[in-house]
Amino acid sequence: MTGIQRQEAIKAALSNPDAVISANQFAKQLMVSRQTIVGDIALLRARGEQIVATPQGYRYQVKQQHSTMIVVQHNAQQIEAELMALVNAGVTVADVQVDHPVYGLLKGELAIQSVADVKQFVYHLSKTSGEPLSSLTNGVHMHCLEYEDSANLEKAKIALQQLHILYEA
């Protein structure tokens, strides 16, 4: 299988809107190394494919009707409660961002939209030596939230206020 054929197979597999596939899964399926898949994804992105890497795997970028940024502050032990409050309110947590004093804006793609996504993210966080981005900024961080209905956004903000983690001036 050539690189072009492999890249077409990756695009086809990700064309299902519910598809989230890890580099390891692609590597096994296409009988190449994980690093080869990472390179193929980079080439596809360079050609304009809207493929994002999430903690769950690769997927095509799916934008909901509306999005907004929120600022929160909490410790690492509150991550699960924060994310659960957001997905239970019906919003998608698209990313996490911090404003680092040296590097500027640092961003991590999340694409968390369900309780299962939250559980998987928290599990991966607990099983790695990596720290949350918010550990760089004393717990202050931003999320891009995506939502269909403004009522869901309001529910999300209220839930974060009740947790005392919504950062408000």
Q: What residues does 97 pair with on adjacent strands? A: 107, 142
Round to whole Å and give the CA distance between 58 and 52: 6
Q: CA-CA distance, 155 to 85, in Å (whole number)?
A: 9
Residue 74 labelled as part of a binding site: yes
Q: Is 121 helix (H, G, I), strand (E, B) or coil?
A: helix
Strand partners, 66: 147
- Coil, helix or strand for 28? helix
141 is in an annotated binding site: yes
Enumerate the known binding-site residues for Ni(2+). 74, 82, 141, 143
Enumerate the known binding-site residues. 74, 82, 141, 143
